Amino acid sequence: MEVTGIIKVIKDTQVISDAFSKRELVLTEDHLSTYPQVRQYELHKDNCSKLDSFKVGDEVTVEFNRNGKIWTNNEGVDKYFNTDVVWKIAKVGSVAQAPPQYKAQPAQAVDVDDDLPF
């Protein structure tokens, strides 16, 4: 999935274990609407460093996967967790494409004595 928004919060990397770390990112989506949405995303492991070149206020596009998990506590009650995990992030307009370059064609001579009726 893909979404564009304005960075509201960038949190520090949290080291959960030797094999797992995460970093949270909060985006304001639909910032021009009457009811902007604020959503949290996570980056995991080596992807945490991808946020180093961004700052609060940057407009970005993120590509992410939705993850959902179920956890059952000691009393047998299920709890559900949803996480949007970012795997790609880019500043809006950072990959601007240059307009195509056209070569000027040499002017062609116009024959005024042609046989065309117009």
pTM over 0.85: no
Residue 111: band (very low, low, confident or very high) from pLDDT cuts 50, 70, 90? low
> For 32-91, what is each residue's pLDDT tens digit?
888 999 999 999 999 999 999 999 999 999 999 999 999 999 999 999 999 999 999 999
Domain span including residue 34:
2-91
DSSP states along 25-69:
EEEEESTTSSS-EEEEEEEEGGGGGGGGG--TT-EEEEEEEEEEE
Q: Is residue 97 part of a domain?
A: no
At 94 the pLDDT is: 54
Number of domains in the chain: 1
What is residue 100's predicted lDDT score, i.e. its pLDDT?
A: 45
Q: Is residue 117 part of a domain?
A: no
CATH number at residue 49: 2.40.50.140
User: Considering the domain boundaries, does residue 106 fall inside one?
Assistant: no
